[in-house]
Amino acid sequence: MKELTVISGKGGTGKTTITAAFAALAQGQVMADGDVDAADLHLILTPRIKKEEAFYGGRAPLMNKDKCDECGICMEVCRFGAIHDFVIDPISCEGCGLCMHACPNDAITMEEKFSGHWFISDTRFGPMVHGKLGIAEDNSGKLVSLVRQQAKLIAEEENKDLIIIDGPPGIGCPVIAAITGADLVLAVTEPTLSGIHDLERVLGVAGHFNLRAMVCVNKFDINTENTEKIKEYCRERNIEVVGEIPYDPIVTRAMVARQTITEYDSGVVTDIIKRMWARIEAGLGNGFER
């Protein structure tokens, strides 16, 4: 079984558009949305939810006012400034539990914290696992790991040999959770200074975890000089640039129609994505078992 994760560093470069197109082009895959924080893949794949489960991301302190004698020790030990006037602010709280251990009156207990949901669904392109982190919750990395784990179970059960994961932006914990152990990451970038800057950082993270990466330059014609720079950068590091997609308003129209670009149109963008997918598939099949 192979796992491909689509990432970008910078947000809004086209991860989900491209992942959704892969869903339509690939065969025998399980889709996983590794963006549990601002997930969009479901808008195109319109999953029918078969199973919904609660996600408990960790524990949170609960204060029993009756036992509290307002000694203030909890406020002293908390390093996150999460307790004011003997009230715990759930937004600042990191859930470390030190307040519970420090409280001389056992007025604080740690309770499992409901932090979101995860789903197993059917789509027109096969099974999909996705999650929804509660607003302003932490532990998105844990939920991403859970989504990947469930996708693997389904792949095993249904004899599927590929999992395609739509990754989150950035380089922090949910990104790390979405890529560690993947067979291949595809970094989608754009030829802007921001895109290049963020690509370098996210490829750094992939390198840090010894992952093989490929690059796709979206809207490459916005600045062809920068596109050349990206290709040069990748060449020097032996990273294959598998696709250069031109800017085309048809991409937004497909999104508004809630279709993948390959379903919506058979023009140049679809053509390029098809060729890119063939290269990725070949790469995935080419025995670069980690």
Partner 1 sequence: MIISISSGKGGTGKTTIGTNLALSLEGVQYVDCDVEEPNGHLFLKPQIEERISVGIPVPQVDKSKCTYCGECAKVCEFNAIVVVKEKVLFFPELCHGCGGCSYICPEDAIEEVEREIGVIERGKAGDIEFVHGLLNVGEPMAPPLIRTEKQFINNDKTVIIDSSPGTSCPVVEAVKGSDFCLLVTEPTPFGLNDLRLAVEMVRKLKIPLGIVVNCCDIGDREVWQYCEYESIPVLMEIPQDRRIAEAYSKGIPLVEEIPEYRSRFQDLYNQIGKRVQEESG
Q: Interacting stretch for partner 1, rule CB under 8 A, among 191-199, 232-240, 260-268, 273-281?
A: 191-199
Report the amino acid identity of residue 174: P
Check binding of 167 to partner 1 (CB under 8 A). Answer: no
Among 56, 68, 71, 77, binds partner 1 (CB under 8 A): 77
Q: Show Cβ contacts of residue 197 under 8 Å, excluding neighbours closer than 6 positions.
A: 10
The DSSP annotation for 76-115 comes to HH-TT--EETTEE-TTT-----HHHHH-TT--EEEEEEEE
Burial of 279 (0-12, 13-18, 19+ CB in 10 A): middle
Among 47, 127, 141, 243, binds partner 1 (CB under 8 A): 141
> Within 86-115, which residues bind partner 1 (CB under 8 A)?
91-92, 94-98, 101-102, 110
Bridge-based pairing of strands 29-33 and 126-133 is parallel
Q: Interacting stretch for partner 1, rule CB under 8 A, among 73-81, 123-131, 149-157, 158-166?
A: 73-81
Q: Interacting stretch for partner 1, rule CB under 8 A, among 120-128, 157-165, 187-195, 263-271?
A: 187-195
Q: Contact positions toward partner 1, by CB under 8 A?
A: 8-13, 16, 37-38, 40, 43, 58-59, 77, 79-80, 91-92, 94-98, 101-102, 110, 133, 135-138, 140-141, 168-176, 190-195, 197-198, 201-202, 204-205, 208-209, 219, 222-223, 226, 247, 249, 252, 255-256, 258
